[in-house]
A and B are shown apart, each in its own frame.
Chain A
Amino acid sequence: MSQGGDRELIGGQALYNALKAGSVWLQSHVAEVNALNVFPVPDGDTGTNMSLTLRAALDEVGSPQGLSVSEVGRRISHGALMGARGNSGVILSQILRGFARALDDKQAVTEQDVALGLTAASETAYKGVMKPVEGTILTVMREAAEAAQGAISVGGDVCAVLTAALSEAKASLLRTPELLPVLKEAGVVDAGGQGLVRVLEGILSYVRGDAVVADAEAKPAVETGHGHADAAEEEYGFDVQFIIHSPAKSVDLLREDLSVMGDSLLVVGDEQAVKVHIHSEHPGPILEYGIQQGTLSTIILENMQVQYREFVGTDHSDEGASGQIDVRYPVDRIRASLSGASPLADVSVVAVASGPGLAQVFSSLGAEAVVAGGQTMNPSTQDLVSAIESVANDSVLILPNNGNIILTAQQASEITSRQVRVVPTRTMPQGIAALLGFNYQAGLEENYEAMLESSQQVETLEVTQAVRSVQVNGLAVDEGQFIGLLNDDLRAAGDTPLAVVKALLGEMDMDEYEIISVYYGSGVTQEEASSLCEALGDVYPNLEYELLDGGQPHYHYIISAE
């Protein structure tokens, strides 16, 4: 930032750096923001979405050197538009767009322009919806902009303007539960607002000259009394749940007390009954505390490490006659983290996956149990029954994710005494799409319908090698050639995986799709997969590509188009 004369001028480089600082700071608090999400908002990953949107905006700038502040603003605006993810991402993109417009055609701007920019950001954001809802990021943005204007009127510089904006943003955030009943009920502040506060904090740090370091031990800017929602750390310790009847203290006070006793704290309820969920290495004091507060019931106490080990399994007793060993991939059983499958859901999901990367995807999307598919994707009926019986709920949905396993899943559902519905997914992308359609507040039947529908929205492409020469669907395939299947139907053959994928995509109406997710298998390196994606990007530049290490055996690539 050049300090010329009486006024500080902010040029393109400075604007870029400031937003970059905001982005880094937000990124290190993604889990915290995600944890604040409250149903029934469809946007479940506010933190992730806002972070990705902001990063896309910054990526669009490229190299900020020598660019005017308005040019940087324009690029950020465009990048955010194209890269907006989720509802919160779209709102953020509007905020950035509004701010950018206020920069006019200027080379560099003053603190007044910054304040005007914040106001424009707020106004543009509000214009994007017919009935703006107060108690959301909109309110926080508006009140922050008002404070910024206030700082200008008393002659503040950029630092003062941003300090005032941030301070008011935090205060506004704290008031959001008063404006939006669902927030108050869940005892949280608005997720989008929290994300915005983090961005402003990062920006202010940069302006003040402090280094912005990704803070691994991120504490919430606003003490709402709940701990980390970092599921990866929670393989150890105990999962403690109970209900306190006629509690002596209010929900808020209980939450405050419990917040120092463990992680992934969830406290919901009213004067009659409060449900508590927490992870801790020392359940004793927590239970004692609960007993002091009222009558306890429905106590659940589970050793997460035992669960984890059991699942990782030294159990090889189900080696088939063919001598295949079913290796269970180490998968985090995500027990009630605030952003994942919640103990308050009445239905559990069991998914079958081949490949540790894919297993991780299912797990992180909320599948309570993931069964390994093995070399030829065939878990036994007993494997599935065990998985069904291992989950928390009596109502279970199974995602077989392979045509051969659907029948096995049906058999398993008949053997167990639990209520089971099999969603007939034939491929893993279908399973993932189905899982994305899962609704934590709905029951078994509703979820079955919803997941069935979601599973049908995605096209699956699979690439593997032919083990023998064959003629099928009018195609002559030689042994060793690469073959491509579109939704389980063999439709293409070629000498390279790329040729096969291109052929398959050529058969589809690519205007209908936006996102291509590529899961590369265990026989493929990241470089190979990466260059495949790049080559596809050349042919279809308007699509978004996601590259993931699926680690699946047998199929070089499993690709979903949605």
Chain B
Amino acid sequence: MSEETTLGTIQVSPRAIASIAARAVLTSYGVVGMAPATVRDGIAEILNLENVYRGVDVQVVDGQVVIDLYVVVEYGTRISVVAHNMMESVKFAVEQALAMRVAEVNVHVQGVRVSDDD
């Protein structure tokens, strides 16, 4: 995504957008982990905090941002509400930070984490 100014060009890489989106997801209630966008062997591997951005897939289409989130949700929460909240948080964070229009935020629930004491 690039913007021309009188002094030069501003380019924001998809990886940067992913990091901003990932940060918003970290504080989103109900999300307990991010899984990589490609799930190998059908097992959702929970990414550690450094690598959360890998659970975010960013596409820029016609100057609009489309974000896909691959998350693991806590068992016992109302997933639809958690997903909705996440979508709004991510959209807000990216739009505020980058002044770019977010066309879509898609949530893919890759897994549900059941806590040990359940």
* A154 close to chain B: CB less than 8 A: no
- Mask of B48-86 contacts with A, CB within 8 angstroms, 1/0: 010010000000000000000000001011101110110
* A300 close to chain B: CB less than 8 A: no
- Mask of B86-101 contacts with A, CB within 8 angstroms, 1/0: 0011001001100001
Q: Is the CB of B92 within 8 A of A42?
A: yes
Looking at the assembled complex, report how far the CB atom of B104 sits from the nearest CB atom of chain A, in whole angstroms.
9
Q: Which listed residue (B27, B74, B96) contacts A127, Cβ 8 A?
A: B74
- Mask of A39-74 contacts with B, CB within 8 angstroms, 1/0: 010110000000000000000000000000000000
Q: Which residues of chain A have C-beta atoms less than 8 A from B96's C-beta? A: 40
* B41 close to chain A: CB less than 8 A: no
Which chain A residue shows the least CB distance to B78?
Answer: A84
Q: Is the CB of B81 within 8 A of A90?
A: yes
* B111 close to chain A: CB less than 8 A: no
Looking at chain B, what size class is its interface with the partner chain? 20 to 34
Expressed in whole angstroms, the Cα–Cα distance for A100 and B26 within the complex equals 26
Q: Which listed residue (B32, B85, B101, B118) contacts A87, Cβ 8 A?
A: B85
Expressed in whole angstroms, the Cα–Cα distance for A128 and B76 within the complex equals 9
Q: Is the CB of A93 within 8 A of B85?
A: no
Q: Which residues of chain B have C-beta atoms less than 8 A from A132's C-beta? A: 27
- Mask of A129-153 contacts with B, CB within 8 angstroms, 1/0: 1111100000000000000000000
Q: Which residues of chain A have C-beta atoms less than 8 A from B95's C-beta? A: 446
Expressed in whole angstroms, the Cα–Cα distance for A89 and B30 within the complex equals 11
Q: Is the CB of A129 within 8 A of B29?
A: yes
* B31 close to chain A: CB less than 8 A: yes
Q: Which residues of chain A have C-beta atoms less than 8 A from B33's C-beta? A: 130
Which chain A residue shows the least CB distance to B52?
Answer: A130
Q: Is the CB of B78 within 8 A of A130?
A: no
- Mask of B18-57 contacts with A, CB within 8 angstroms, 1/0: 0000000111111111000000000000000100100000
* B11 close to chain A: CB less than 8 A: no
Q: Is the CB of A128 within 8 A of B117?
A: no
* B2 close to chain A: CB less than 8 A: no
Expressed in whole angstroms, the Cα–Cα distance for A338 and B76 within the complex equals 33
Given known contacts A40-B96, A42-B88, A127-B115, A87 and B27 CB-to-CB distance under 8 angstroms: no
Q: Which residues of chain B have C-beta atoms less than 8 A from A105's C-beta? A: none
Expressed in whole angstroms, the Cα–Cα distance for A384 and B95 within the complex equals 32
Q: Which residues of chain B have C-beta atoms less than 8 A from A129's C-beta? A: 26-32
Q: Is the CB of A128 within 8 A of B85?
A: no
Looking at the assembled complex, report how far the CB atom of A56 sits from the nearest CB atom of chain B, in whole angstroms.
10
Which chain B residue shows the least CB distance to A129?
Answer: B29
* CB-contacts of A440-493 with B (<8 A): 446, 449
Q: Which residues of chain B have C-beta atoms less than 8 A from A128's C-beta? A: 29-30, 32, 74, 77
Q: Which listed residue (A40, A90, A101, A131) contacts B78, Cβ 8 A?
A: A90
Report the count of interface residues on A (CB-CB < 8 A): 28
Expressed in whole angstroms, the Cα–Cα distance for A382 and B114 within the complex equals 59
Q: Which residues of chain B have C-beta atoms less than 8 A from A42's C-beta? A: 84-85, 88-89, 92
Q: Which residues of chain A have C-beta atoms less than 8 A from B88's C-beta? A: 42
Q: Which residues of chain A have C-beta atoms less than 8 A from B26's C-beta? A: 129-131
Q: Which residue, of A77, A87, A91, has the highest number of chain B Cβ atoms within 10 A?
A: A87
Expressed in whole angstroms, the Cα–Cα distance for A449 and B91 within the complex equals 13
* A318 close to chain B: CB less than 8 A: no
* A124 close to chain B: CB less than 8 A: yes
Expressed in whole angstroms, the Cα–Cα distance for A124 and B29 within the complex equals 12
Given known contacts A127-B115, A129-B27, A90 and B77 CB-to-CB distance under 8 angstroms: yes
- Mask of A95-113 contacts with B, CB within 8 angstroms, 1/0: 0010001000000000000
Q: Is the CB of B31 within 8 A of A514?
A: no
Q: Which residues of chain A have C-beta atoms less than 8 A from B92's C-beta? A: 40, 42
Q: Which residues of chain A have C-beta atoms less than 8 A from B76's C-beta? A: 77, 81, 93-94, 97
Q: Is the CB of B115 within 8 A of A124?
A: yes
Q: Which residues of chain A have C-beta atoms less than 8 A from B89's C-beta? A: 42
Q: Which residues of chain A have C-beta atoms less than 8 A from B27's C-beta? A: 129-133
Expressed in whole angstroms, the Cα–Cα distance for A131 and B76 within the complex equals 18
Q: Which listed residue (B80, B82, B117) contacts A514, Cβ 8 A?
A: B80
Q: Is the CB of B82 within 8 A of A90?
A: yes
Q: Which listed residue (B28, B49, B77, B115) contacts A84, Cβ 8 A?
A: B77
Q: Is the CB of A93 within 8 A of B77?
A: yes
* A82 close to chain B: CB less than 8 A: yes
Q: Which residues of chain B have C-beta atoms less than 8 A from A91's C-beta? A: 29
* A328 close to chain B: CB less than 8 A: no
Query: B residues within 8 Å of A by Cβ?
Result: 25-33, 49, 52, 74, 76-78, 80-82, 84-85, 88-89, 92, 95-96, 101, 115, 117-118
User: Can you give 29 A-B contacts (C-beta < 8 A)?
Assistant: A42-B84, A42-B88, A42-B89, A42-B92, A84-B78, A86-B81, A87-B81, A87-B85, A89-B78, A90-B29, A90-B77, A90-B81, A94-B74, A94-B77, A101-B118, A127-B32, A128-B30, A129-B26, A129-B27, A129-B28, A129-B29, A129-B30, A130-B25, A130-B26, A130-B33, A130-B52, A131-B26, A133-B27, A446-B101
Query: A residues within 8 Å of B by Cβ?
Result: 40, 42-43, 77, 81-82, 84-87, 89-91, 93-94, 97, 101, 124, 127-133, 446, 449, 514
The 5 closest A-B pairs by CB, nearest first: A42-B88, A131-B26, A84-B78, A130-B26, A87-B85
